[in-house]
Amino acid sequence: MDFKLKNIPSQQGRIAIVTGANNGIGFETTLAMAKYGFKVVMACRNMKKAEKAKSAILQKSPDADLDILQLDLSDLNSVRAFAKNYKNNYSQLDVLINNAGVLIYSGKKNGAGIELQFATNHLGHFLLTNLLIDLMPDDTASRIVVLSSIAHKTAKIHFDDLNGENIDDAEAVYGQSKLANLMFADELNRQLKRSGKKMVVLAVHPGGSFSGLFEEMSKGVRYYMYRTLAPFILNSNSSAAKPSLFAALSPDVQGGEYFGPQGFNEFKGKVGIAKRSDYSKREDVAKRLWELSEELTGQPFIL
């Protein structure tokens, strides 16, 4: 199932949003989508970095059609403002790639008192998708792509402690947020199918990569990882973007599938069906997470 970008026809006339488009996997995803003709809206928190990334993409692909709109996924008011701004400027959305994320647990909370990783990685994308899905044509070429992680495999949703205040392992909080991404994609796909909709929802994970998330690490840790781990487990960002691009562009997908690298421990390799934890398949948990997400965002999800 290896993915060849050269086999994808022109996507001229279509529009996509990539969250976290200014660095790492988001940058490479945006570059590839633009090369194939999409107008890409770069949804970024830091406008200065977004402008720099846009310039870098235009140097590589001078014909790229790029716009920048500010979006801080940790702030639900910012998500609402982004959606309103988008709808004021565009009448359609063909592909939504929910890519942005926070990797390192800081113990910080957003203005609503929600732990920053859960708020950014899951709730922000949940609300963003909810507010924009009505702009998506109801056909199989319309794609919602949600980035999960292999970290979901050891995680569960701590409904009694979403903020991780009583969790000793900080990595479990990140894992919870990425598990929520996967379960959201699955539940959204199920609900769309029950509603008779044709649009496709897919989850992906990038394997191991030095995405922009690793900028949050200290220089010493980054140096150690580059020198000791990179040759064995890490993709380039362009390779790590392939699962997202496959999900967004390939005709050979079915809603509810989950894609990632197929090599050792799924760190790198050709794109294919990724492995899920048994917990992630629990529809009762996904439904409870969905209802909680509606409550926390204050926005019923109407399909």
Residues with a catalytic annotation lie at 174
Q: Please give the Cα distance from 292 to 303 (Å, whole number).
A: 17
CA triple 42-69-197, angle to 5 deg? 70
Helix (H, G, I), strand (E, B) or coil at 22: coil
At 234, list the tokens.
Answer: 């890490």
Q: Residues 44, 71: contact at Cβ < 8 Å?
A: yes
234-235 vs 258-261, strand pairing mode: unpaired
Taking each helix axis from N to C terminus, what angle separates 283-297 and 125-132, rounded to the nearest 10 degrees? Answer: 80
Q: In what order do the strands lie in the sheet with 258-261?
A: 65-70, 39-44, 15-19, 95-98, 143-147, 200-204, 258-261, 271-273
Residue ranges of alpha helices (H) inside 11-118 are: 24-35, 47-60, 76-89, 116-117
Q: Please give the Cα distance from 245 to 254 (Å, whole number).
A: 15
Q: Residues 200, 142: contact at Cβ < 8 Å?
A: yes
User: Which of 183, 213, 217 shows the shortest CA–CA distance to 201?
Assistant: 183
